[in-house]
């Protein structure tokens, strides 16, 4: 229990500080985009590159984990899409956006600080895999569907948008790191120390930014918001738990996969909702309330997996 508290209490505190800063106008909530850009384009990529470049290739590639985690993310995505499209009779764009909210866990903002406390730096590999899956499969698919649903006057090139995703430092950094590891190049200690200096700010800044973003988002409790939170915070980790057992994934890999799926909806899902003017209030409410609820549901899931026992 002490380990669970050590991972969740500091996280809650920093999110709360960011929220207070936004509510009291100490930091303008519009600057949250700047903090998010810093994390996603600078500090987190540096952290990912160092970890992948200095790890053994066999430690980076766990095929069962990669396949299992992809099934956990895209399985929930497909399930939610079908329910929204054919049960709730929602439009193509709304079904897609709801699927994005329910299947894309907040690995970058919440995953790093929690995993660093519970599993150590080695666990960042699972976050690397998660970001590759979302960047190469889920995000391009979501962009494609939302773009198809847009009026022709506001459509942009899907190819250019997908290429833009692949060019992001968050995707390129671990790829280059894996290449460096594969070739066997030794990264100079001075370079590693320099990258770690900026990479070490990722957890604190990302959580502060999350609180800042939460302070500005509109919150509206509705039936669909509650359903989204249930699917994301409880159903997806249970789905991943079943996949882990079925594929024989064991040890920390199994716990990391389940816990990542127990994370609340990623902030990026709200950014997509705003960009495409689709389910904006529902997406932001699911993200904000889902984050609050996740602090409790993740504690329960950690306890069930034996994290912090003994």
Residue 147 lies in a domain: yes
- What's the token pair of residue 299? 């504690």
Residue 245 lies in a domain: yes
CATH code, domain carrying 29:
1.20.1530.20
**Which residue carries 């948008």 as its tokens?**
161
* pTM to 2 decimal places: 0.81
Residue 195 lies in a domain: yes
Residue 164 CA to residue 160 CA, distance in Å, equals 6
Contact by Cβ (8 Å): 276, 146:
yes
Residue 60 CA to residue 175 CA, distance in Å, equals 11
Q: What is the pLDDT of residue 9?
A: 86
Residue 116 lies in a domain: yes
Q: Could you give the number of structural domains in the chain?
A: 1
Residue 225 CA to residue 28 CA, distance in Å, equals 27
Which residues span the domain enclosing 63?
2-303
Helix H or strand E encompassing 102: helix 92-103
Could you report the average pLDDT of every consecutive run of 10 residues in the chain (310 residues)? 79 89 88 79 85 78 89 96 95 95 89 85 81 81 81 59 69 84 91 92 81 79 95 97 96 94 88 83 90 92 82
Residue 308 lies in a domain: no
Residue 237 lies in a domain: yes
Residue 145 phi, psi dihedral angles, 5° rounding: -65, -45
Q: What is the pLDDT of residue 215?
A: 84
Residue 113 CA to residue 199 CA, distance in Å, equals 12
Contact by Cβ (8 Å): 173, 49:
yes
Q: What is the pLDDT of residue 160?
A: 67
Q: What is the pLDDT of residue 128?
A: 79
Residue 281 lies in a domain: yes
Burial class (CB in 10 A: 0-12, 13-18, 19+), 221: exposed
> If you count DSSP H runs as helices and E runs as strands, how many of each does the chain have, helices first?
18, 0
Residue 106 CA to residue 98 CA, distance in Å, equals 15
Residue 233 lies in a domain: yes
Query: 258: which residues sit within 8 A by CB, 6+ positions away?
Result: 237, 240, 241, 244, 301, 305
């Amino acid at each position: 229990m002490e380990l669970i508290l050590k991972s969740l209490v500091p996280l809650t505190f920093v999110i709360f500080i960011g929220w207070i800063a936004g509510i009291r106008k100490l930091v303008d909530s519009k600057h949250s985009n700047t903090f998010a850009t810093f994390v996603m384009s600078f500090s987190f990529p540096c952290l990912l590159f160092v970890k992948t470049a200095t790890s053994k290739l066999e430690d980076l590639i766990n095929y069962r984990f990669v396949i299992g985690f992809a099934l956990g993310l895209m399985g929930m995505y497909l399930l939610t899409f079908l329910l929204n499209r054919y049960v709730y009779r929602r439009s193509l764009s709304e079904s897609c956006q709801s699927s994005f909210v329910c299947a894309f866990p907040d690995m970058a903002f919440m995953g790093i600080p929690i995993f660093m406390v519970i599993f150590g730096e080695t666990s960042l590999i699972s976050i690397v895999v998660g970001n590759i899956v979302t960047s190469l499969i889920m995000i391009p698919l979501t962009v494609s569907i939302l773009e198809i649903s847009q009026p022709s006057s506001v459509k942009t090139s899907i190819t250019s948008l997908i290429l833009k995703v692949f060019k992001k430092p968050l995707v390129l950094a671990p790829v280059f790191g894996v290449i460096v590891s594969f070739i066997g190049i030794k990264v100079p200690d001075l370079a590693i120390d320099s990258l770690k200096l900026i990479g070490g700010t990722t957890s604190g800044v990302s959580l502060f930014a999350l609180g800042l973003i939460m302070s500005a988002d509109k919150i509206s409790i509705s039936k669909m918001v509650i359903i989204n939170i249930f699917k994301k915070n409880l159903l997806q980790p249970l789905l991943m738990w079943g996949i882990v057992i079925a594929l024989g994934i064991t040890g920390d890999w199994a716990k990391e996969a389940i816990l990542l799926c127990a994370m609340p909806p990623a902030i990026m899902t709200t950014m997509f909702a705003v960009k495409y003017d689709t389910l904006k209030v529902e997406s932001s409410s699911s993200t904000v309330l889902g984050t609050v609820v996740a602090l409790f549901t993740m504690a329960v899931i950690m306890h069930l997996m034996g994290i912090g026992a003994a």
